[in-house]
Every structure is written in structure tokens, then in C-alpha cells.
């Protein structure tokens, strides 16, 4: 019953804090106004700037920020115990992550939908803007390359998921056509769309698709090429063609998956089959780095993630119709992600104990199941290990509802792969925006077109993916940097939000300022520890890139600190509402 109680208390807490803290921040700190003009309306172009119902943009925003993040992070960090992981997910998402996402979204909406790296010049200076661009490009470069591999790995592990994931694309295009071109009901059609997609989910176990090696390129490499090509096409299409309708379908898929998980927790708990088999706290697991500061780097999505600020100020700010919708989209999506992360913690801390099959084919239950999978940091290493810990644990719980395990595995694998696909093409689209803004600043107008900028975004990711061979896993070389880079970006975004709020007067800045200080300390601390580790391993590539990241982060922190104590007129710049442009 412990797992059930954890879930119930966490969910009630999220609902209460959305009403109390979230609405307070929206009304008192950011002063949302339903009458304010938004970029989606004043700059509407039918491609990127499209005013959208908040329910649809919520689906896009959530699936873009989620991906595999709230799954992989908790599935790694559980090795330090479920209590630290749960506390960081719950507290972090409410007072840090949701403030970060919402703040980046509303500031972007008040600055023509520009990216956070672009509007940094207004709130700090142009030097910082360029440095911010470098961090953002590096983050998105790794994300695009790695998420192609992530989905390829999921397809290899769960071939029963391939059919449904790909069939979602034509279903979404048809849905978008009927809604935006024919004026049909989005709610009714999206329900039919998700039912059709789930028909293919249940066909998946009977029609698994296994990619063969082609021209000497292994399956993961072939899938990576296909997925990056898909990312190119999806990111240049109008958002109403594929992005919005697909993410609306995914929002329904989220509701179904989470409902199944929640019901599975209830039934498993009441039948006495669900218990927390992970330790409450293990400060020194075998071969693992120190819990401080790495817990706060390992769990990003689900607590706070710098990537979210890029989605908020990249795609979402260009689609939110009313300023008052931003709270539901920005703050609400982060709390929903926190709720998903709580379910992941329950799945990997308790669900895995209901049945775990080792590589040798032995089936274990209880504490033995958990300790076998998490016997050491090295034993639980690898992307597949993290995903399987969640998928298998979740499938065990859902199986208690009477759904055969082969179908529960397919449902959860499709759920994970679909969200990862959303993150892939959203990241590609955002990288295009970032590159276009940068090239505009550098007066390289011939590189700002959407096709050229997207080609550069995908092309550089493709180079990284295949830098180490045909498997498409080149981005794994830089993956040890990603956690610190991502959380550094979160700290820097919070600094910008802090300076924005300070210009409004009073102590409003504290809602972002205190989280900014905490995240800056944790990420710089982790980066320095990593530098020592990379030096000990004589990894010159990671040493060089990591020290550059440390210098950039420290520089922006100092610039932000100096700006905070300035009293000149630059600190009181008004919001650049699009109506004045």
C-alpha cells in the first residue's frame, strides 16, 4: 500500500500547488491578461505562428518536453533510493521546473515569440546572447542526434511498437486536414484517431517490424537515418499539418497510459502484489557518483530541465492564443510531467518487483528483482536498461487489469517511442529557429530560410550520430556532458527570468532567483566534478568541451549578477508586445 499512498499524496499535492502557487504566480507575479496581444495572433503565418486552443497546445507542449526524459532520469536516479528521487521530482517540479517553463513561455510571448537565447540580449547584454546561443546549439545538437538513436533502440527492443508509431503519422495528417481544412470537431475526431491508432498497437505483437542491416549499416543506424529524415520533413511542415494533430493524439495517449498505470497501481496494491522493493535511501550505491550534486543533474525532466525553456520559447510561444492560457500550458504541463515521473518511480521501485526476467532467462520477484537490475551503477547502465526497467515494471502493474503482458508491453513501448518522436522533431524545429536568429544577427541572410537552416540542423546532427561508426551512436560520446549542459541551461534561463521579474519591482524576482542560485551551484559543481573525472580518464574531447561549458556558464552567471545590481534604464525595459512592432 506504500506505493499507492505515494501516488495519491503526490497527485493531490500537484493539484493543490497548481491552484495555490501556480495561480498566484500567474496573477501576482506575471500579471497575465486575457486581453494582451500574443505573437500567434499578430504574427500569424499559418506555418509557425498559429493561434491554437489551449488543450491542443498543451498536448504539443507536454509531449515535446517529456520525450523519454521523465522516464530515463528517475529510472537512473532510483539507485540512490526512491525517497530522494521522489522529493526532487515533487518539490523541484513545483518551485523550479514549472516556474522555469512558465516564465520562459510568457517572456517569449511578450517578445514576439523569440527564443530565450535571442531575448537574453534585452535582459542582460549582447555578449551573453551569443554565449547563450552556443549553449543552446550544443544542447539541441546532442538532443537531435541522440533521440534518433533513442527511438532506434526502442524499435530494436520492442519491434511490436514500430507499426503503431509510424501509422500515427498519416493518421495525424488526416486529422489535421479534417480539423483545419474541413472545420470538423477536434475532440470527436481525435478520439476516433486514438482508437484507430490503438487498433494498430494491438496488431503490433502479431506484426513486429525488425529492421535489417542495409548496405553494411546496422539496424540502429538505418533507423537513425530514417528518423532524422523524418525530423527534417516534420519540422518544416506547417504546425497544423503534423505537429499539432499528432501531439493532440499523443495527449490522449498520455491520458490512456497514465490511467492504465494509475489503475494498475490501485489493483496491484489492493491485491497485495505491489510493494516498494527499492531502498528508501542508498547514499553510496556501488560505482555510482555522489548523490550530491548528481541527483539534481540526473533527474531533469520531471523536476527541471533546460530543454523545456527551448520548447516554451521555441514552438509553444508561437501557438498560445491567449496570454491567460500560458499558465495551463507552461506551469500545468510541468506538473503533469512531474506526475508522470512519480508513476515512473513507482514502476521502477515497485512494479519491477512483480516480475523481472534476467538475461539468463531466470524470473525474479521482490527485492531480488530490483537488486539484480540495480546491483551497481554499471549494471544498470545503458539506455535500454533504463527504458526496460520502466516498461517492464509498468507492464507488470497494467497486467493486473487483465490485459495480456504482450499488449501492455506494446502499449508502453509505443507511448515512450511516440513521445520521443515528438521531442525529436520539436528539437529540430527549435534548432531551425535558433540558427535563423543567429544567422540574422550575423547578417548571413542566405542561411536563414527554413529549408537551409533545417538542413544545417539535421546535417550537423547526422554527422555527430555517425562520427563513431555506422551504428548511429556517435552522440553517446558527448552524452556524459548532456546532463550538466541541460541543467546549466535551466540555471541560465532562470537567471534571465529573474532579471525580467526584477525589472517589475519588488521581490517578485525571488520566485525564479532562488531556484536560479540553487541550479547554478548544482550544475557548476557537477561540471567541475566531471572535469576531474574526464581528466582522470584522459578523455581530451570531453575535457575541452566541458571546460568551455564551465567558462560560458560562469560568464553568464557573472554577467547576470552584475546586471541584477545595475539600476540603469536598461533594467526597466518594457515588454516588447508584438502590437508595437
What's the grid cell of residue 449?
Answer: 530560410
**366 falls within a domain:** no
**84 falls within a domain:** yes
What's the grid cell of residue 157?
Answer: 527492443
**363 falls within a domain:** no
CATH code for the domain in which residue 439 is found: 1.20.1740.10
**364 falls within a domain:** no
**Alpha-carbon span 153 to 476, nearest angstrom:** 13
Task: State the residue range of the domain holding 318.
Answer: 2-358+371-580
Peptide bond into 233 cis (omega under 30): no
Dump pLDDT digits (tens) for 68-125: 778 888 988 999 999 999 999 999 999 999 999 999 999 999 999 998 888 888 899 8
**365 falls within a domain:** no
- DSSP states along 3-47: HHHHHHHHHHHHHHHIIIIIHHIIIIIS---TTS--HHHHT--SS
Within 8 A by CB and 6+ apart from 40, the residues are 49, 50, 51, 52, 113, 318, 319, 320, 321
150 in Cβ contact with 383 (< 8 Å): yes
**Alpha-carbon span 291 to 282, nearest angstrom:** 9
DSSP β-ladder status, 363-364 and 356-357: antiparallel
What's the grid cell of residue 337?
Answer: 510531467
Domain count, the chain: 1
For 294, half-sphere exposure in the C-beta direction (CA atoms, 13 angstrom radius) is: 19
Q: Buried b / exposed e across 478-491, counting CB within 10 Å, b at 16+?
A: bbbbbbbbbbbbbb
**Alpha-carbon span 525 to 333, nearest angstrom:** 29
Scan for cell 500537484, then name that residue: 14
70 in Cβ contact with 302 (< 8 Å): yes
271 in Cβ contact with 402 (< 8 Å): no
**Alpha-carbon span 18 to 332, nearest angstrom:** 7
**54 falls within a domain:** yes
- DSSP states along 212-247: PPBTTB-HHHHHHHHHHHHHHHHHHS-TTTTHHHHH
What is the chain's pLDDT, residue by residue, as a tens digit (581 residues)?
789 999 999 999 999 999 999 999 999 999 999 899 999 999 999 989 999 989 889 988 998 888 777 888 898 899 999 999 999 999 999 999 999 999 999 999 999 999 888 888 889 988 888 888 888 999 999 999 988 888 998 898 899 999 999 999 999 999 999 998 888 888 889 899 999 999 999 999 999 999 999 999 999 999 999 999 999 999 999 989 998 899 888 888 888 989 999 999 999 999 988 999 999 999 888 888 999 999 999 999 899 999 999 999 989 999 999 999 999 999 999 999 999 999 999 999 999 999 888 777 788 889 998 888 887 776 666 666 777 888 889 989 999 999 988 898 889 889 888 888 888 988 999 999 989 988 988 889 899 999 999 999 999 999 999 999 999 989 888 888 888 899 999 999 999 999 999 998 889 999 999 999 999 999 999 999 999 999 999 999 999 999 999 999 899 999 999 999 886 544 455 565 543 33
**429 falls within a domain:** yes
Ramachandran assignment for 149, one of left (phi > 0), alpha (psi -120 to 50 degrees), beta (any other): alpha
State the first-to-last Cα distance of the chain, in angstroms, to the nearest integer: 57
Dump pLDDT digits (tens) for 194-210: 999 999 999 999 999 99
**220 falls within a domain:** yes
Burial class (CB in 10 A: 0-12, 13-18, 19+), 319: buried
- DSSP states along 294-334: HHHHH--TTT--HHHHHHHTTTGGGTB-SGGGHIIIIIHHH
The CA–CA distances, whole Å, from 496 to 58, 108, 120, 278, 563 equal 24, 11, 7, 39, 10
Within 8 A by CB and 6+ apart from 211, the residues are 155, 156, 219, 222, 223
Dihedral sign for Cα atoms in the order 403, 406, 409, 415: negative
**Alpha-carbon span 420 to 417, nearest angstrom:** 5
Considering all CA atoms of the chain, what is the largest pairwise distance in Å, rounded to the nearest integer?
Answer: 69
Amino acid at each position: 500500500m506504500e506505493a499507492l499512498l505515494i501516488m495519491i499524496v503526490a497527485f493531490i499535492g500537484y493539484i493543490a500547488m497548481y491552484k495555490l502557487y501556480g495561480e498566484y504566480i500567474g496573477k501576482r507575479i506575471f500579471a497575465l491578461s486575457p486581453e494582451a496581444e500574443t505573437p500567434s495572433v499578430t504574427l500569424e503565418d499559418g506555418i509557425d505562428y498559429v493561434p491554437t486552443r489551449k488543450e491542443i497546445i498543451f498536448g504539443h507542449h507536454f509531449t515535446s518536453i517529456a520525450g523519454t526524459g521523465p522516464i530515463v532520469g528517475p529510472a537512473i536516479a532510483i539507485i540512490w533510493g526512491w525517497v530522494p528521487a521522489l522529493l526532487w521530482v515533487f518539490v523541484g517540479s513545483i518551485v523550479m521546473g514549472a516556474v522555469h517553463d512558465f516564465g520562459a513561455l510568457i517572456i517569449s510571448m511578450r517578445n514576439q515569440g523569440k527564443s530565450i537565447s535571442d531575448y537574453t540580449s534585452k535582459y542582460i547584454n549582447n555578449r551573453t546572447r551569443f554565449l547563450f546561443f552556443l549553449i543552446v546549439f550544443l544542447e539541441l545538437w546532442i538532443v537531435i542526434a541522440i533521440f534518433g538513436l533513442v527511438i532506434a533502440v526502442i524499435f530494436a527492443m520492442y519491434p511490436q511498437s514500430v507499426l503503431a508509431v509510424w501509422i500515427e503519422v498519416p493518421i495525424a495528417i488526416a486529422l489535421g486536414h479534417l480539423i483545419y481544412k474541413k472545420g470538423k470537431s477536434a475532440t470527436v475526431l481525435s478520439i476516433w484517431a486514438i482508437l484507430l491508432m490503438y487498433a494498430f498497437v494491438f496488431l503490433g505483437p502479431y506484426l513486429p517490424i525488425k529492421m535489417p542491416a542495409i548496405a553494411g549499416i546496422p539496424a540502429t543506424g538505418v533507423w537513425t537515418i530514417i528518423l532524422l529524415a523524418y525530423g527534417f520533413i516534420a519540422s518544416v511542415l506547417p504546425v497544423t499539418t503534423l505537429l499539432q494533430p499528432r501531439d493532440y493524439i499523443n495527449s490522449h495517449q498520455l491520458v490512456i497510459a497514465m490511467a492504465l498505470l494509475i489503475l494498475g497501481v490501485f489493483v496491484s496494491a489492493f491485491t497485495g502484489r505491489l510493494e516498494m522493493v527499492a531502498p528508501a535511501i542508498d547514499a553510496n550505491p556501488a560505482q555510482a557518483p555522489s548523490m550530491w550534486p548528481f541527483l539534481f543533474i540526473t533527474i531533469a525532466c520531471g523536476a527541471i530541465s533546460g530543454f523545456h525553456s527551448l520548447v516554451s520559447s521555441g514552438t509553444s510561444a508561437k501557438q498560445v492564443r491567449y496570454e491567460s492560457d500560458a499558465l495551463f500550458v507552461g506551469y500545468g504541463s510541468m506538473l503533469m510531467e512531474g506526475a508522470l515521473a512519480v508513476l515512473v518511480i513507482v514502476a521502477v521501485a515497485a512494479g519491477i518487483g512483480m516480475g523481472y526476467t534476467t538475461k539468463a532467462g531466470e524470473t525474479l520477484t521482490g527485492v531480488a528483482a530490483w537488486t539484480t537490475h540495480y546491483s551497481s551503477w554499471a549494471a544498470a547502465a545503458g539506455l535500454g536498461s533504463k527504458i526496460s526497467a520502466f516498461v517492464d515494471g509498468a507492464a507488470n502493474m497494467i497486467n493486473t487489469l487483465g490485459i495480456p503482458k504482450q499488449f501492455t508491453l506494446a502499449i508502453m513501448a509505443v507511448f515512450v517511442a511516440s513521445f520521443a518522436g515528438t521531442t525529436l522533431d520539436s528539437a529540430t524545429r527549435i534548432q531551425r529557429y535558433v540558427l535563423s536568429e543567429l544567422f540574422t544577427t550575423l547578417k548571413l541572410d542566405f542561411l536563414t530560410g527554413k529549408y537551409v537552416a533545417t538542413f544545417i540542423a539535421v546535417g550537423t546532427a547526422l554527422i555527430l550520430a555517425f562520427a563513431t561508426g555506422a551504428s548511429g551512436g556517435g552522440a553517446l560520446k558527448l552524452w556524459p556532458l548532456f546532463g550538466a549542459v541541460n541543467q546549466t541551461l535551466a540555471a541560465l534561463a532562470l537567471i534571465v527570468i529573474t532579471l525580467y521579474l526584477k525589472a517589475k519591482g519588488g521581490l517578485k524576482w525571488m520566485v525564479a532567483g532562488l531556484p536560479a542560485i540553487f541550479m547554478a551551484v548544482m550544475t557548476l559543481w557537477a561540471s567541475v566534478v566531471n572535469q576531474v573525472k574526464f581528466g582522470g580518464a584522459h578523455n581530451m574531447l570531453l575535457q575541452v568541451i566541458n571546460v568551455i561549458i564551465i567558462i560560458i556558464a560562469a560568464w553568464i552567471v557573472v554577467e547576470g549578477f552584475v546586471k541584477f545590481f545595475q539600476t540603469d534604464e536598461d533594467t526597466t525595459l518594457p515588454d516588447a508586445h508584438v502590437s508595437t512592432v
